[in-house]
């Protein structure tokens, strides 16, 4: 499906469940970017909540293990407390209380414990708290067995934004405090978190505008504005341009062992972006290219605009136009 339709380069995780350890063991290490493990509440049957299964995955998975770290028992207890207080009218401001910092920290600590026990290549996805950021060692990504990433929305939003944006910034793990936002940005700067990523989930605006906390889905569209939003952190002096380039390109390629990508080097694939800095501007409606038609960054002015994007040497975006004939390639991994 991706080969037929994707304008971007692509690779896929193999999703872990409580009962597919044999499939994980048979996975060729170079066939996927890693094994994805939801160690907290998710959709469908993707939650892996059995300690013996986690042990087997961390011990036997080929290549990298990537984890979504939240403790379901803690979340369920917090949700029960909220329902007792609020009934069916839980306010969105309770989201970071329900999906709490404790739920994130306990799960991330368990993942790191298992990785150290089994010498696993572990990457913890979408770290959302200052306490979790402190679990990682500062410095370059090269040589690290355990790494983590900050998502772009955790570097821009905090719980003071729920009043204006409501469910539009509802995501898992939850957007938390201003102190967490600043701590995560500092962790990117000193290399405790080596990657800036997204957690793209393009739910429709109608779905997100539900007034029922339990019905409104978690997640937001993030890919299109991710680089512009990261470059805003350069404008504000919180990160250097070199740090943004490393966290969004170089370190991704190094951590996931991407073959011939992530750097401007002779013989490498030309995956390039031309961005131009100017006066800050709000996004116009026609600038939002998601099929879902909205972005949480609608009210945030950006200094940087993406002028041209090349994907594997093909022009994918130029002069505000998509090239519908551009097709990405399946990413390859060095063994």
Q: CA-CA distance, 257 to 301, in Å (whole number)?
A: 35
Residue numbers annotated as active site? 199
Which helix H or strand E contains 273, and what residues bound it? strand 272-281
Question: Is cis: bond before 155, omega within 30 of 0?
Answer: no
Q: What are phi and psi of 328, to 5 degrees?
A: -75, 170
Q: Pick from 22, 104, 116: which is nearest to 62 by CA?
A: 22
Q: CA-CA distance, 310 to 328, in Å (whole number)?
A: 10
Q: CA-CA distance, 276 to 190, in Å (whole number)?
A: 26
Which residue pairs from 204-207 have beta carbons closer than 8 angstroms and sit at least 24 positions apart in sequence? 204/292, 204/293, 205/292, 205/293, 205/294
Torsion of CA 208, 209, 210, 214, to 10 degrees: 40
3-state secondary structure of 34: strand
Q: Which two tokens stand for residue 239?
A: 């990160």
Which helix H or strand E contains 14, and what residues bound it? strand 13-15
Q: Pick from 284, 271, 281: which is nearest to 304 by CA?
A: 281
Q: Which two tokens stand for residue 60?
A: 């036997």
């Amino acid at each position: 499906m991706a080969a037929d339709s994707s304008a971007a380069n692509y690779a896929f995780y193999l999703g872990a469940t409580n009962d597919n350890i044999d499939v994980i063991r048979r996975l060729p290490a170079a066939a996927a970017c890693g094994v994805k493990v939801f160690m907290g509440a998710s959709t469908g049957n993707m939650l892996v909540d059995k300690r013996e299964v986690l042990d087997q995955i961390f011990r036997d998975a080929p290549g990298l293990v990537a984890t979504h770290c939240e403790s379901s028992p803690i979340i369920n207890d917090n949700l029960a407390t909220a329902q007792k207080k609020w009934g069916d009218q839980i306010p969105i401001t309770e989201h970071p209380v329900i999906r709490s910092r404790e739920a994130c920290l306990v799960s991330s600590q368990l993942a790191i414990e298992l990785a150290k026990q089994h010498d696993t290549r572990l990457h913890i996805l979408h770290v959302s708290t200052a306490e979790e950021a402190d679990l990682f060692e500062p410095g370059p990504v090269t040589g690290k067995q355990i790494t983590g990433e900050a998502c772009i929305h955790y570097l821009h939003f905090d719980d003071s934004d729920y009043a204006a944006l409501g469910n539009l910034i509802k995501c898992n793990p939850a957007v938390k405090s201003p102190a967490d936002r600043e701590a995560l940005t500092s962790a990117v700067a000193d290399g405790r978190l080596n990657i800036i990523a997204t957690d793209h989930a393009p739910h429709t605006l109608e779905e997100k505008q539900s007034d029922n906390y339990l019905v409104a889905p978690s997640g937001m569209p993030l890919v299109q504005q991710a680089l512009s939003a990261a470059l805003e952190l350069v404008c504000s002096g919180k990160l250097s341009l070199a740090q943004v380039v490393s966290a969004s390109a170089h370190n991704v390629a190094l951590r996931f062992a991407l073959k011939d990508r992530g750097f401007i080097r002779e013989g490498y694939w030309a995956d390039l972006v031309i961005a131009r800095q100017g006066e800050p501007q709000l996004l116009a409606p026609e600038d939002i290219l998601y099929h879902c038609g909205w972005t949480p960054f609608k009210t945030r002015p950006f200094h940087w605009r993406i002028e041209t994007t090349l994907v594997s040497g093909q022009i994918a975006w130029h002069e505000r136009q998509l090239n519908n004939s551009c097709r990405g390639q399946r990413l390859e991994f060095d063994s």
